[in-house]
Amino acid sequence: MNHEEILPQGSKVELAASTGDITAQNEISLSPEQDDSLRGYFETAQWTADGTTILTFSSSNQVSGYIVPQDLLSPTASRPLKLTPQTTIQLPEPSNVLAGAPYFQLAEPWTQQLLVSSRDHPIQLFYLSSSPSPSPASCYPLTKARSETFLTATSLVWPSPGSHFIAGSRNMLAKFDISRTGEEPVVRVKTIPSERHLSKGNGVGMRGTVSCLGAQPPPDAGLVAAGTWTRWVGLYDFAQAGAAACVATWSVAHAATREARVGGDGLTQTIWSPCGRYLLVGERKSTGILVYDVRVEGRLLGWVAGREALGNQRIGCDVFPGQEGSGGFEVWSGTTDGAVKVWEGVGSREGAHAPEWSWAAAERSTIGSTCVHQSGTVVATCSGSWEFPDDDGDGESQWQSDSSGVDSDSDVSSSEAPWMQRRNKESSLKIWSMSSNNVEAEP
């Protein structure tokens, strides 16, 4: 589908601000010895609670904060404006788990907090300060009770009002009190009855690493949706204690494979509709997003078709209330081919939903995140990914010619060579204005 030809009539998407391609200086092929100098690409992006700042995470383990320019929607501004990070935090280990404070206010420095999780480290709280190397302000350990080894938090959600946050790990969810620095979680909920028994739960609950979490929005806030790499979804109510916290669990494998026929290989996102009645489930290696009515356990209401997420890379979508009288809500998502697509009226009927319109937000690069501003006037996208020699068609011959002079005693094996020869695709953070809204308010 040519996404440049299906823009809605009378509508306009304009590039308002951009970082530019942060990998442009690395277009020249690098040798394996220079491989570490490859710049990271943007993996995820999200708006802060007040809508003034965009938090990004890159493959080089950097968290950055971009304050939106004040003249972003000014009719006299020279577009696209240049986006530069106001602060950068270098994490010690790889992580793609990032959660901003639900009470974030740009005018109040003490509220500018974010949580990150890295392997073999406690969950850490940072402030978005101008310090060149900010250190964690607080730590929240998640350890095994018997061995005291750190458990990696593979997912985080920090719901409003912000007094507690929830972390997901292997076969477990944990609820932390943000005010109890250095303390273990106040509540632990196992997603299966036992890890030590041979039956490993015996079919009860959901087994596997919790890869994503989503908190139900107001006014029905209370449930947390957890998804696993093993393609299971669980709903949990942390107002209950222990095993009673589990409200429902079900597998999405049958619905994705047999009903929607969108494929999938592990959940990467669980996100609620603006009304809190529907749950959207996104997977890697899929061509759609499943839509469930949570009022009926495991009932597939419909699916968002044509969302190409064909690789292992996470592709995050966003939701926005639909226009009055149209029914349903909107879903915005990027794809692996650099397009951003918009679906309207999702939740208003059963079955497949085709995209209403789309546009090219990047060239040949995956759109990792698409985030609609709470005002509806602008949308942020981030793009970036690796490419390998065999992605070009001539990669095999290129690799053979490059490796012909390699000595048999070399430390670089043939299985390592493609990874060592990886290159950056285009990577940028962009803010697009939706001028059809005719709103000149600042985000």
pLDDT band at 38 (very low <50, low <70, confident <90, very high): low
Q: Which segment of 37-51, 52-66, 239-253, 319-333 scores lowest on mean pLDDT? A: 239-253
pLDDT for res 204:
66
More confident residue, 314 or 389: 314
Label residue 144 by pLDDT band (50, 70, 90). confident
**Lowest model confidence (mean pLDDT) among 27-41, 153-167, 400-414:** 400-414
Average pLDDT over residues 251-276: 95
pLDDT of 44 > 80? The answer is yes
Higher pLDDT, 11 or 337: 337
Instruction: Name the pTM for this structure.
Output: 0.86
Q: How many CA atoms lie within 13 A of 68 on its CB side?
A: 27
Cis, bond preceding 102 (omega within 30 deg of 0): no
Pairwise CA distance, residues 46 & 105, whole Å: 15
> How high does pLDDT run on average in the chain?
83
Per DSSP, the three-state class of 30 is: coil
Instruction: Assign 26 to helix, strand or coil.
Output: helix
Which of 182-186, 361-365, 375-379 has the weakest average pLDDT?
A: 361-365
Hey, how many other C-beta atoms are within 10 angstroms of the C-beta on 136? 18
Whether residue 437 has pLDDT greater than 80: no
And the tokens for 6? Answer: 């299906």
d(CA 89, CA 26): 22
